[in-house]
Amino acid sequence: MEDALILKYAGPVPRYTSYPTAPHFSEAVGLADYESWLDQIGPGEAISLYAHVPYCDRLCWFCACHTKQTLRYDPVATYLQGLHREVASVGGRVNREARVTALHFGGGSPTLVRPEDMIALKRSFTDHFTFAPDCEISVEMDPNDLDEARHDALAAIGMTRASFGIQDFDPVVQKAINRIQTYEQTRDAIEASRARGVRSVNCDVLYGLPYQSLSSLERTMAAVLTLAPDRVALFGYAHVPWMKTHQKMIPDESLPGVVERFAQMSRAAEMLLSAGYEAIGIDHFAKPEDSLARANREGRLRRNFQGYTDDEAETLIGLGASAIGQFRQGYVQNMPATGEYLRHVEQAGMAAVRGYRFTPDDRLRAKVIADIMCRFAFSFDGVERAFPGLAAAVVEEARLFRARDADGLTTIENGVFRLTERGRPFARSVAANFDAYLGNGRGRHSVAV
């Protein structure tokens, strides 16, 4: 790939795990809307749950998640009391005939929760929601937190997918991002999870990290492949120190440039494909028999705040500080500040403070952007059938983009706007062409490659 092309399309744009994106949420949507949307969940409807644990026992400099460091367990225990209360309040409004098809524990570091507290938290969910028999339960794992008791507790709650943050195994890179984690720790934690019946293991790997080189990333990828994960998420490090001030601990001059980032991404992807993994969207890879790979082949791949997913539930309920929910009507987000979150939950049982209500045009553009991010294409007939009378604008925008596309990123054939192999690495930039809000100055974003 030519350097000039990479530089041309590497400008900052959203990751499009939602549309409209979070900078466009406002207090115009709040608790009353949230309660109404919960009340409208119907019997038999599939729902997903996300539980956020905003604590870590160390703060990784690269992290852009909503979390804080604590060396004491007391704040975690207090937070969990509030989370139990929110689970009870939200569950009390949801139709008990609705089925939970997925529960994801994220953070932060959910694995720092004590074993008995993790079991009690899962029990709270099952007490207040109806779980489908085949519900997927996934947990973000930090090997540094794990011991036999915690592994046993995760088995007891029925964990089906373990997601391990690796980032990079190189000691120099680990020191620069304050994430010391050996290969042996990671291997042993994965083996312990599998020994307890976990069906699927995901590993997160980052490129574009400080002091990371093409050769060091190759060594990390070779080590990751020996772990035989079912899925690999290959993310570009998002350097956003204006939003996450702890990232200022990472010197700007230590970061690889855009062209080098692209080379790292390409080489890691090449190694995964050579090992038999299938490419999923812009940054995921999965073994052919994995459910994510099957969903991709069958055209069922979706994208939400957790990234690419085969979860078909239209409703996602977020619980915990800063958690975001997605409904047919729009998005809702909880109070991010932990203390304020607890105060809201104590007073109202819930903590929704902002969100966004969809317009018909939002739904149309969300579908187009999701199709580009998941399938690298969208059908003119498909959007016109789904949004009669509204689709003409995006169809015209697609035709105009193609007419100006001197770089060969896209084609239009038989009424389908499609990214070429040359264009797929720049899917975020192409999708941004259909974002009606991107130019209004709200939000700053990471580079697109």
Distance of CA 8 to the CA centre of its chain: 26
pLDDT at 93: 98
Q: What is the pLDDT of residue 390?
A: 95
Q: Are residues 342 and 371 in the same domain?
A: no
- Do 284 and 186 have their domain in common? yes
In this structure, the answer to whether residues 364 and 298 fall within a common structural domain is no
Indicate if 323 and 416 belong to the same structural domain: no
* Average pLDDT estimate for 3-13: 92
Task: Read off the CATH number of the domain in which 278 is found.
Answer: 3.80.30.20
Q: Residue for token digits 């406002």?
A: 26
pLDDT of the residue at 58: 87
Q: Is residue 64 in some structural domain?
A: yes
Instruction: Please indicate, yes or no, whether residues 351 and 425 belong to a single structural domain of this protein.
Output: no
Q: How far is CA 442 from CA 267, 324, 438, in A?
A: 34, 18, 8
CA 241 to chain centre: 20
- 442 pLDDT higher than 60: no
Quickly state the pLDDT bin for 444 (edges 50, 70, 90).
Answer: low
Q: What is the pLDDT of residue 445?
A: 65
CA-atom Rg of the chain in angstroms = 21
Same domain, 65 and 143: yes
Q: Are residues 199 and 104 in the same domain?
A: yes
19 band by pLDDT with thresholds 50, 70 and 90: very high
Residue 448 lies in a domain: no
Same domain flag for 353 and 374: no
Q: What is the pTM assigned to this prediction? A: 0.94
Q: Which of 322, 357, 392 is the last residue of a domain?
A: 357
Query: Pick from 321, 336, 357: which residue ends a domain?
Result: 357
Structural domain boundaries enclosing 416: 360-435
How confident is the model at residue 397, as a pLDDT?
Answer: 98
The Cβ of residue 308 has, within 10 Å, a number of other Cβ atoms equal to 23
* pLDDT at residue 246 greater than cutoff 90: no
Asked whether residue 293 falls in the same domain as residue 348, the answer is yes
pLDDT score for 448: 67
Domain membership flag for residue 444: no
Mind giving me the DSSP string for 348-367?
HS--EEEEEEPPHHHHHHHH
Other Cβ atoms less than 10 A from the Cβ of 433: the count is 19
Range 24-30 average pLDDT: 96
In a domain, 446, yes or no: no
pLDDT for 306: 85
Q: Does the pLDDT value for residue 404 go beyond 90? A: yes
Structural domain includes residue 445: no
pLDDT digits (tens, 9 = 90+) for 277-329: 999 999 999 999 999 999 999 999 999 988 899 999 999 999 999 999 999 99
Average pLDDT, the chain: 95
CATH for 421: 1.10.10.920
> Is residue 401 domain-shared with residue 252, that is, in the same domain?
no
* 8 A C-beta contact, residue 362 and residue 19: yes
d(CA 373, CA 369): 6
Report pLDDT digits (tens) over 339-387. 999 999 999 999 999 999 999 999 999 999 999 999 999 999 999 999 9
Average pLDDT in the 156-175 region? 97
CA atoms 241, 341, 41, 362: torsion sign:
negative
Q: What are phi and psi of 423, to 5 degrees?
A: -90, -20
* Cα 43–Cα 49–Cα 53 angle in degrees, nearest 5: 155
**Residues 301 and 409 placed together within one structural domain of the fold:** no
The CA distance from 233 to 206, in Å, is 8
Beta 302-304 vs 307-309: how paired, if at all? antiparallel
Question: Using one digit for the tens of pLDDT, what is the confidence trace for 144-164?
Answer: 999 999 999 999 999 999 999
* 191 located within any domain: yes
Render pLDDT for 220-242 as a digit per residue (tens, 0 to 9).
Answer: 999 999 999 999 999 999 888 88
* Encoded tokens for 219: 């060594």
Q: Which of 357, 392, 422 is the last residue in one of the domains?
A: 357
Number of domains into which the chain is organized? 2
pLDDT at 31 over 70: yes
* Full DSSP string of 195-231: HTT--EEEEEEEES-TT--HHHHHHHHHHHHHT--SE
Residue 449 domain-assigned? no
Is 256 within 8 Å of 237 (Cβ atoms)?
no
367 and 418 fall within a common domain: yes
Residue with tokens 């409004």: 93
Residue 271 belongs to a domain: yes
Q: What is the pLDDT of residue 441?
A: 56
Sign of CA dihedral 310, 316, 317, 323: positive
